[in-house]
Amino acid sequence: MAIALRQPKEIEKLRAANKIVGSTLELLRQKTKAGVSLKELDTMAEEYIHSQGARPSFKGLYGFPNSLCTSLNQVIIHGIPTEYKLQEGDIIGYDIGVELDGWFGDAAITVPVGVVSAKDNELIACAKDTLYEAIAAIKVGMRFKELSQILENSIVSRGFVPLHSFCGHGIGRKPHEEPEIPNYLEGKDAKGGQKIKNGMVFCIEPMICQKDSKPLILENKWDVVSADGLRGSHYEHTVAIVNGKAEILSLA
């Protein structure tokens, strides 16, 4: 399937949706403190998105029951909000999607609750720093497989491993479009496959495990953890390729 090439006016539509994503995540970051429940955070996110004239696009997507993914401690992605109240020392991942006027936005952050361990700080920094390193490395003409290799090398160089079987993705008129962008090189040849071109819009989202890349899905059929049972982290931005470089759309 061909990867869509967006016109400048379309990219501005995507920027508007993603700006709401970024400001929602910033609100959640500010509200992250011991004693607040995951369901309260979900409600905050949903109400804020509606206040901006947009719709939380995850709610009902593939049957997901909430507006916000709240991935707590060992949960790396797709965490379902519960009545659990955050405690000092937790780490919490927020992943949010927005639809505005038929265009979609998507981004994620992982946040410490109060003071966390040095290992947890390293884990969060790995996801964030890997994301920004990869974005800075993007240029027109490179292949998506090269981008996956950059992501993998960045994660491994920090002493962690990428979660397997889940990936970044294109985004536009649908929340998930072509291409799929794993955080690791599939196969041995990074010089094969599709090239990055001006006008492409896609999400990059490093998902970090400590020791084992194998994913396990918990009984609620959503929460994804590593087979090692250890804490994970996740960061994501939507980027557009403009004038040969990646421009982040999902900033507050």
Query: Which pLDDT score is estimated for 146?
Result: 98
Q: How many domains does the chain have?
A: 1
**1 within a domain of the structure (yes/no):** no
Query: Which pLDDT score is estimated for 188?
Result: 85
Query: Which pLDDT score is estimated for 183?
Result: 98
**2 within a domain of the structure (yes/no):** no
- How much is the average pLDDT of 228-241? 98
Please provide the average confidence, as pLDDT, over all residues in the chain: 97
CATH number at residue 112: 3.90.230.10
Q: How confident is the model at residue 113 (pLDDT cuts 50, 70, 90)?
A: very high
Q: Is the pLDDT of residue 1 over 80?
A: no
**85 within a domain of the structure (yes/no):** yes
Residue 121's alpha-carbon distances to 70, 149, 204, 231, in angstroms, are 18, 24, 21, 11
Q: Is the pLDDT of residue 26 over 70?
A: yes
- How much is the average pLDDT of 32-55? 98
- Residue 181 is part of which domain span? 8-248
Q: Is the pLDDT of residue 34 over 70?
A: yes
**3 within a domain of the structure (yes/no):** no
**174 within a domain of the structure (yes/no):** yes
- How much is the average pLDDT of 164-177? 98
**130 within a domain of the structure (yes/no):** yes
Q: Is the pLDDT of residue 187 over 90?
A: no
Q: Tell me if 100 sits within 8 A of 173, measured CB to CB.
A: no
Q: Note the pLDDT tens digit of each residue in 137-168.
A: 999 999 999 999 999 999 999 999 999 999 99
Cβ within 8 Å of residue 153, ≥6 positions away: none
**155 within a domain of the structure (yes/no):** yes
Query: Which pLDDT score is estimated for 193?
Result: 92
- How much is the average pLDDT of 73-87? 98
Q: Compute the distance between CA of residue 72 and CA of residue 90 in angstroms, rounded to an integer.
A: 7
**183 within a domain of the structure (yes/no):** yes
Query: Which pLDDT score is estimated for 63?
Result: 96
Q: Note the pLDDT tens digit of each residue in 218-232.
A: 999 999 999 999 999
